[in-house]
Homo-oligomer: A and B are copies of this chain.
Amino acid sequence: MSLITDAPDKPTLYKQIRQDIERRILTGEWPPGHRIPFEHQLMVRYGCSRMTVNKALSELAQADLIERRRRAGSFVRRPQHLSAVLKIADIRAEITALGRAYGYELINRRLRAATAADRIRLGVKKAGKVVAIACRHSADGMPFAVEDRLIDLSSVPDAATADFANEPPGSWLLHHVPWTEAEHTISAIVADDRTAAALDIAVGAPCLVIDRYTWRSARTITAVRLLYPGDTHRLVARFKGG
């Protein structure tokens, strides 16, 4: 579901310098704490101006591979805590990418005044209207995930009239509302009878849960809970690090 690729680039000088240093760091030749040659030394070694060296080092610093300290120099950072770019794609794109046929089914759609529980879930204080949606995504006709979503109509008025019978709300929102911030929480539960029926798995079978909250400029847009069969579905995050 995710992969960080290094596009092969024309080896301009600053990129060459950057890759050169990166290689030494990744192979361990320059261990954490090692001081990288000063910009002045590097410009002599590579026969270029300081700006060129600076650009290479700046990018390495931006990638957290090195740390730059005024007057002291640049240092190889100690291995970062494991961190991964976890790309959780639009479910339709995810299923299509697997080469399987995507299916969507709206189970329930209700427009209502926000209940107390709704307001807590969306993290809003004022009363207002919400759209509650339950739907199911399938791959090759088999249940893939069930979705339980709440959309704050005060943030997304258009959602009141949107037709979610044919378009999944996730796709609709992605195309209609720019988001600025989001949060995923991943956990595990066992299927209750309703979930089990919807996913066509046994009651008590493990489920992977993704709760996603999306904001736009500190304003809640939507809260969604996705349930996947836990033994067949996997989230994969692949990454590089130092």
Q: List residues of chain A with CB under 8 Å of any chain B CB.
A: 2, 26-28, 31-32, 59, 62, 79, 81-90, 93, 174, 178-190, 204-209, 212, 216-217, 228, 230-231, 233-242
Q: Which B residues touch A230, using CB under 8 A?
A: 187-189, 206
Measured between beta carbons, the chain B residues less than 8 angstroms from A188 are 188-189, 206-209, 228, 230-231
List 11 contacting pairs A-B, 8 Å CB cutoff, sorted by A.
A26-B178, A27-B217, A83-B87, A85-B86, A185-B234, A185-B237, A188-B189, A189-B206, A190-B206, A206-B206, A206-B207
**This chain: copies in complex:** 2
- Docked Cα-Cα span, A2 to B1, in Å, equals 19
Are B89's CB and A186's CB within 8 A? no
Q: Which residue from chain B places its CB closest to the CB of A191 in the assembled complex?
A: B206
Per the bound structure, the CA–CA distance linking A218 and B231 in Å amounts to: 28
A141 to chain B, nearest CB (A): 23
- A31: which B residues are within 8 A, CB to CB? 178
3 closest A-B pairs by CB = A188-B230, A188-B188, A188-B206
Closest to A26 in B: B180
If the complex has contacts A27-B217, A217-B26, A231-B188, are A86 and B89 also in contact, measured as CB distance less than 8 A?
Answer: no
Least Cβ–Cβ distance between A156 and chain B, in angstroms: 12
